[in-house]
């Protein structure tokens, strides 16, 4: 479950300075006219003005009593109502407040979440979940789509629940896709990664998590052997060829963060195989990258030494050339 603080979901500021009050709650002449024409009584005018500014600021209609007292007092000054006026009660005046919200939707050319919002959120989150895993990122994607479509944001819990359900469904599709091409031999080889041999105290999975020292020339044979050992297990690239690179890296990181017992406890075989395939793919990539980097450093060193030797030869022959 994502924390609301890690998302772009707008929240009500409880403490505002003069500049923030003016920026967020100042009524224009057109807005003042709308409030006067569409409401009755002091409480009605104050409530409609508060709903209007809150909708513009938050992209949803909050509970009016959640607004800070500073905002209420500032709106009282602008609407000219009695200083003791309070907001309409959500339960006692639900019909009036509903009518105000409908009026503001028409004035702002916006829609409620129930008017097509869920369908847009599900479609956008489903696309994003193929490259993203963090709930906060998926929720931010949904917020961006709703704001662009002028649709009111639902409760944060609703977005959180939709993002979690769709992410799980997308991951299940990826697990099925990644394991569809695995034959019995491949599955046995991957399962063997989680078995501790009798002549060794570590499983293949645990050994692959322990990289053979820093990527220096003295360790080049160990890194080469690591790559050979990885290639012997299974080549994962065909199973993962249609899965985004970002998602492969995310699953690989998830597998690397688990210990042997945690992976064994993964009940769904499809998920377990996918995590291990992504882990193998990332380990292969890391080993190859390190070997290439070591080779490049070796060639740079060779080139530097050759340049120094050439310069020394030139210096040694300079006297002869001048003579």
pLDDT for res 205: 78
| Domain termination site, one of 162, 179, 196 | 179
- Sequence-distant (6+) residues with CB within 8 A of 3 are 136
> Which of the four pLDDT bands, split at 50, 70 and 90, describes residue 315?
confident
Q: Both tokens of residue 39?
A: 């409401």
List the one residue out of 279, 267, 274 whose CA is nearest residue 205.
279
- Pair 102, 219 in one domain: no
- Sequence-distant (6+) residues with CB within 8 A of 201 are none
- Pair 208, 173 in one domain: no
pTM over 0.85: no
Which contacts qualify for 61-70: CB closer than 8 Å, 24 or more apart? 61/101, 61/104, 61/152, 62/12, 63/90, 64/88, 64/90, 65/90, 66/12, 67/12, 68/12, 68/13, 68/14, 68/15, 68/16, 70/15, 70/16, 70/21
242 located within any domain: yes
State how far Cα 273 lies from the chain centre: 24
Give how far Cα 158 sits from Cα of 27, 102, 171, Å. Answer: 31, 22, 20
- Pair 252, 302 in one domain: yes
51 located within any domain: yes
The average confidence (pLDDT) of the chain is 88
What mean pLDDT is predicted for residues 125-138?
91
Domain around 295: 184-314
Give CA–CA dist 247/197, Å, rounded. Answer: 31
Maximum mean pLDDT: which of 63-67, 202-206, 242-246: 63-67
What mean pLDDT is predicted for residues 90-96?
90
> Which of the four pLDDT bands, split at 50, 70 and 90, describes residue 198?
confident
What mean pLDDT is predicted for residues 43-71?
93
The answer to whether 246 and 219 have CB atoms below 8 angstroms apart is no
pLDDT for res 134: 87
| Domain termination site, one of 179, 205, 222 | 179
Give how far Cα 109 sits from Cα of 24, 49, 151, 191, 270, Å. Answer: 19, 17, 9, 57, 46
Q: What percent of the chain has pLDDT over 90?
A: 49
Residue 310: pLDDT over 70: yes
> Which of the four pLDDT bands, split at 50, 70 and 90, describes residue 213?
low
321 located within any domain: no
Q: 238 or 41, which is more confident?
A: 41
Residue 43: pLDDT over 90: yes
| Coil, helix or strand at residue 111 | strand
How many distinct structural domains can be found in the chain? 3
pLDDT for res 55: 95
């Amino acid at each position: 479950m994502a924390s609301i603080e890690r998302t772009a979901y707008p929240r009500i500021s409880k403490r505002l300075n003069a500049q923030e009050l003016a920026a967020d709650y100042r009524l224009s002449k057109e807005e003042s006219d709308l409030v006067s024409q569409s409401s009755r009584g002091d409480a009605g005018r104050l409530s409609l003005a508060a709903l209007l500014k809150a909708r513009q600021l938050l992209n949803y209609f909050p509970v009016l009593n959640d607004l800070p007292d500073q905002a209420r007092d500032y709106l009282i000054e602008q609407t000219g109502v009695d200083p003791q006026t309070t907001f309409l009660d959500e339960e006692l005046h639900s019909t009036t407040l509903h009518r105000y919200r409908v009026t503001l939707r028409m004035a702002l050319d916006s829609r409620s979440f129930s008017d097509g919002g869920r369908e847009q959120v599900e479609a956008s989150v489903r696309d994003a979940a193929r490259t993203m895993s963090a709930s906060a990122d998926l929720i931010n994607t949904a917020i961006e789509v709703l704001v662009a479509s002028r649709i009111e944001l639902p409760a944060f819990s609703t977005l959180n629940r939709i993002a979690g359900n769709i992410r799980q469904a997308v991951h299940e599709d990826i697990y099925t896709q990644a394991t569809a091409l695995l034959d019995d031999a491949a599955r046995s080889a991957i399962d063997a990664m989680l078995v501790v041999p009798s002549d060794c105290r570590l499983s293949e999975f645990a050994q692959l998590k322990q990289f053979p020292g820093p990527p220096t020339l003295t360790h080049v044979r160990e890194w080469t052997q690591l790559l050979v050992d990885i290639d012997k297990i299974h080549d994962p690239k065909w199973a993962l060829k249609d899965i985004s690179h970002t998602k492969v890296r995310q699953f690989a990181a998830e597998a690397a963060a688990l210990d042997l017992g945690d992976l064994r406890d993964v009940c769904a075989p499809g998920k377990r195989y996918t995590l291990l395939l992504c882990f193998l793919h990332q380990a292969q990539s890391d080993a190859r990258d390190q070997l290439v980097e070591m080779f490049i450093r070796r060639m740079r060193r060779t080139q530097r030494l050759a340049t120094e030797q050439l310069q020394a030869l030139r210096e040694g022959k300079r006297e002869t050339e001048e003579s």
